[in-house]
């Protein structure tokens, strides 16, 4: 498995197991991880995770947990039992919530003899701009400063890494070190449309900036030939890794 392939996460933003399985079956030779988000999980439930595992794929369960520490901790235990490779929580839930998620993940992985999933924190969503951050959420700080502050808090709380926009990779890498996992959506090859993503980078640029994993959805799942699109993206990432 090439290291570029291992770093590529495809977002399965579809409604049904049938569509998801068809994409996994076609793409798994070129893609390391499949992301199941709230659309697919709320539609099909944990069965979709079992099906992807049965096809040999690894799963990033993107449910962005955010609740009181006990509730998130219990959910973290359940997700760990499903054998996912990675799942995420909102850093805005605070350090006690994140610590509880990590504690229950470790406990469940030990009890079930399952691999320990990576626990990733969501920083500031890429759909939030400066005005929303200040006037609606009430955080009077520039976005990058807030993202780095939250990334440090996630690290101190025992999380393995964060989800962040490509533009914030360098600052997070500097603050949190080389082993900290940075998962980056908002990736667009030069040949694909940007859709509703606002602050994008190419796969090569994102890898060069220090991303650990790239999340790509529509440029692959919406392509006329998803396999060809995935191959091209892996090739671009490979180029970035060699620079
Ligand atoms: O199709 P596209 O490549 O834009 O898909 C990106 C995926 O990453 C979607 O599943 C989206 O929900 C997710 N995501 C994002 N920005 C964030 C967090 C998650 O685009 N800040």
| CATH number attached to the domain at 3-242 | 3.20.20.70
HEC per residue, the chain: CCHHHHHEEEECCCCCHHHHHHHHHHHCCCCCEEEEEHHHHHHHCCHHHHHHHHCCCEEEEEEEECCCHHHHHHHHHHHHHCCCCEEEEEHHHCHHHHHHHHHHHHHHHHHHCCCCCEEEEECCCCCCCHHHHHHHCCCCCCHHHHHHHHHHHHHHCCCCEEECCHHHHHHHHHHHCCCCEEEECCECCCCCCCCCCCCCECHHHHHHHCCCEEEECHHHHCCCCHHHHHHHHHHHHHHHHHC
Boundaries of every domain in the chain: 3-242
Q: State which ligand 1 atom lies nearest to the alpha carbon of 126.
A: 21
Tens-digit pLDDT profile for residues 29-54: 999 999 999 999 999 999 999 999 99
Query: For every one of its 243 residues, what pLDDT tens digit does the chain have, with 9 covering 90 and above?
Result: 459 999 999 999 999 999 999 999 999 999 999 999 999 999 999 999 999 999 999 999 999 999 999 999 999 999 999 999 999 999 999 999 999 999 999 999 999 999 999 999 999 998 899 999 999 999 999 999 999 999 999 999 999 999 999 999 999 999 999 999 999 999 999 998 888 877 789 999 999 999 999 999 999 999 999 999 999 999 999 999 997
* Ligand 1 surroundings by CB, under 6 angstroms: 11, 13, 37, 125-126, 163, 185-186, 195, 197, 215-218
The verdict on whether 64 is a catalytic residue reads yes
pLDDT at 200: 85
Q: For ligand 1, atom 13, which residue shows the shortest CA distance?
A: 185
Question: Which residue out of 64, 100, 155, 167 is catalytically annotated?
Answer: 64
Ligand 1 centre from 66 Cα, in Å? 18
Dihedral angle of Cα 49, 55, 56, 59, to the nearest 10 degrees = -20
pLDDT at 113: 96
Name the nearest CA neighbour of 34 among 42, 43, 19: 19
Q: For ligand 1, atom 10, which residue shows the shortest CA distance?
A: 11
Ligand 1 centre from 74 Cα, in Å? 26
Name the nearest CA neighbour of 173 among 140, 203, 208: 208
Residues 6+ apart with CB under 8 A from 86: 33, 58, 59, 60, 61, 117, 118, 119, 120, 183
pLDDT at 193: 85
For residue 176 the two structure tokens come to 């949190």
For residue 50 the two structure tokens come to 């079992």
Q: For ligand 1, atom 2, which residue shows the shortest CA distance?
A: 217
pLDDT at 1: 42
For residue 26 the two structure tokens come to 């076609």
Tens-digit pLDDT profile for residues 65-92: 999 999 999 999 999 999 999 999 999 9
């Amino acid at each position: 498995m090439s290291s570029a392939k291992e770093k590529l996460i495809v977002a399965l933003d579809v409604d049904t197991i049938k569509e998801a399985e068809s994409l996994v079956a076609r793409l798994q030779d070129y893609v390391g991880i499949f992301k199941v988000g709230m659309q697919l999980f709320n539609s099909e439930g944990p069965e979709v995770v079992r099906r992807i595992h049965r096809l040999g794929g690894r799963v990033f369960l993107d449910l962005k947990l955010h609740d009181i520490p006990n509730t998130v901790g219990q959910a973290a235990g359940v997700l760990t039992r499903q054998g996912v490779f990675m799942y995420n929580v909102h850093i805005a839930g605070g350090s006690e919530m994140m610590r509880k998620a990590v504690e229950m993940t470790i406990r469940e992985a030990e009890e079930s003899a399952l691999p320990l999933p990576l626990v990733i924190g969501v920083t500031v969503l890429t759909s939030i701009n400066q005005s929303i951050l200040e006037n609606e959420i009430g955080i009077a700080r520039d976005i990058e400063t807030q993202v780095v502050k939250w990334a440090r808090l996630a690290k101190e709380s025992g999380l393995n890494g964060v989800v962040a926009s490509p533009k914030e990779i360098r600052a997070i890498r500097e603050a949190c070190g080389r082993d900290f996992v940075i998962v980056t959506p908002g990736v667009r090859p030069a040949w694909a449309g940007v859709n509703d993503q606002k602050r994008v980078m190419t796969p090569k640029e994102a890898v060069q900036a220090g991303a650990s994993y790239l999340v790509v959805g529509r440029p692959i799942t919406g392509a006329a030939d998803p396999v060809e699109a995935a191959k091209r993206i892996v090739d671009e990432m490979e180029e970035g890794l060699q620079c």
